[in-house]
Amino acid sequence: MLSPDPDTVLTRLRALALALPETDEIVSHGIPAFRVAGKMFAYFRHNHHGDGRTVVCLKTTGRDEQEMLLEADPDLFSWPAYIGGAGWIAMSLADPDWPHVEARLRTSWKLAAPRRLLR
């Protein structure tokens, strides 16, 4: 489902992402993307190739976690085009539960961050 106000959603997501250590934002493949120490940990997509969804794509630990998330809440999580096979999951931002988004964003950041930042 699409967010009725994607600009506001992106502003809030940006604030959460950029509050994490050594994080920056770039445009990757035409969309906002967030990196930690040069490694991607989140992508913002709004109606990506007309898919009718507003999501944040986040890293997972792999296929088992992806399947668990998809099974546990198929309205919230979906398989992201192009990057799903590399261990990413899409989390809906149509009606965001911001504490949940922040927790998943932080988990994705930890999966991409260098060890020195995890201490």
What's the confidence (pLDDT) of residue 78?
A: 97
What span, in angstroms and rounded, lies between the C-alpha atoms of 77 and 55? 9
Asked if 70 and 77 touch (Cβ cutoff 8 Å), the reply is yes
Residue 95: DSSP 8-state = S
Closest to 10 in 3D by CA, of 43, 53, 58, 59: 43
Amino acid at the residue 52 = G
Provide the residue ranges of all domains of the chain, joining segments of one domain with +: 6-113
CATH of 6-113, one of 3.60.70.12, 3.40.50.150, 3.90.1150.30, 3.30.1490.20: 3.90.1150.30
C-alpha neighbours within 13 Å on the C-beta side of residue 20: 29
pTM score > 0.85 for this model? yes
Q: What is the dihedral of CA 11, 12, 16, 22, to 10 degrees?
A: 0
List pLDDT tens digits, range 62-98: 999 999 999 999 999 999 999 999 999 999 999 999 9
List pLDDT tens digits, range 15-29: 999 999 999 999 999
What share of the chain has pLDDT > 90, as a percent? 96
